């Protein structure tokens, strides 16, 4: 479920008001495929839970972060 708060005025205003930072989401194809298509090299990938709640209790990873470099 890709999400860009810069395209959603209410979400952007809420994140600013709550000092939550700008939070973006993308699917795996966009996150990894997009990086590879523009010539980045994937160096690392990390999965994590949100630290609380039912998914965390079941150890279901809900976050993915990648580290890429331009070579």
State pLDDT tens for residues 4-43. Answer: 888 999 999 999 999 988 888 888 898 899 999 999 999 9
Boundaries of domain holding 43: 5-70
The first and second tokens of residue 36, run together, are 């590879």
* Number of independent structural domains in the chain: 1
CA atoms within 13 Å, Cβ hemisphere of 57: 2
pTM of the model: 0.61
pLDDT of residue 71: 86
């Amino acid at each position: 479920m890709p999400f860009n708060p810069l395209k959603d005025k209410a979400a952007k205003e809420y994140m600013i008001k709550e000092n939550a930072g700008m939070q973006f989401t993308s699917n795996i194809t966009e996150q990894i495929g997009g990086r590879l298509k523009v010539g980045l090299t994937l160096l690392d990938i990390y999965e994590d839970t949100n630290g609380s709640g039912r998914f965390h209790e079941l150890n279901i990873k809900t976050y993915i972060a990648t580290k890429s470099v331009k070579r």
